[in-house]
Chain A
Amino acid sequence: GEDVEQSLFLSVREGDSSVINCTYTDSSSTYLYWYKQEPGAGLQLLTYIFSNMDMKQDQRLTVLLNKKDKHLSLRIADTQTGDSAIYFCAESGGYQKVTFGTGTKLQVIP
């Protein structure tokens, strides 16, 4: 079955860039996503990328996709304390089924 892996924890200083990495196994993935979960809340879609793209930029967020290595990353520029949350990578290759990664907890140190 599909498998999506992330490192569990990342700590950065305010103002620095954060890079959260993700690897997946399903070679038929069509969409790849990044979701954000703040404490006590549901997940919120941050951005997504089609599998035929290498990069997508949206304000402070940059998504890089290496389809050959099945590697996805999310870069947050000028990280702020409000960015502290758990970030989930996810992929979808089939009919509406989305497989989520294990989540990376981002801690931003003031």
Chain B
Amino acid sequence: DTAVSQTPKYLVTQMGNDKSIKCEQNLGHDTMYWYKQDSKKFLKIMFSYNNKELIINETVPNRFSPKSPDKAHLNLHINSLELGDSAVYFCASGPTRANEQFFGPGTRLTVL
């Protein structure tokens, strides 16, 4: 009965590889988000989707491509991984009319 789930929880990979992180929410929310949290715990929004449409796209390299196959899923694909991509990536979801967000447990990405 997990509300917002992410897979995998840990991801260790080599520079230059392509990887994906999956996110699913069973809360019936219209909006989903991806955040990046760096080693200093600073949290920055990357993308937001509302009903499968991209509504927020912060200054993120185009190596990062979100994909929303349906309202309950928002996946993050990263091409040509770099050392600086190492971080914890959080998925979140929320209802359209309110700004409360429910966070997933995070995916710790380590690029070697």
Contact = CB atoms under 8 A, between A and B. Distances in A.
A98 B102 CA distance: 12
Interface residues of A, number: 23
A96 B99 contact: yes
A24 interface: no
B22 to A, nearest CB: 15
Interface stretch (A10-18, A37-45, A54-62, A65-73): A37-45
Chain A contact residues, majority secondary structure: strand
Nearest to A44: B103
Given A43-B103, A44-B103, A97 B56 contact: yes
B54 to A, nearest CB: 12
B43 A42 contact: no
Contacts of B99: 30-31, 33, 48, 92, 96, 98
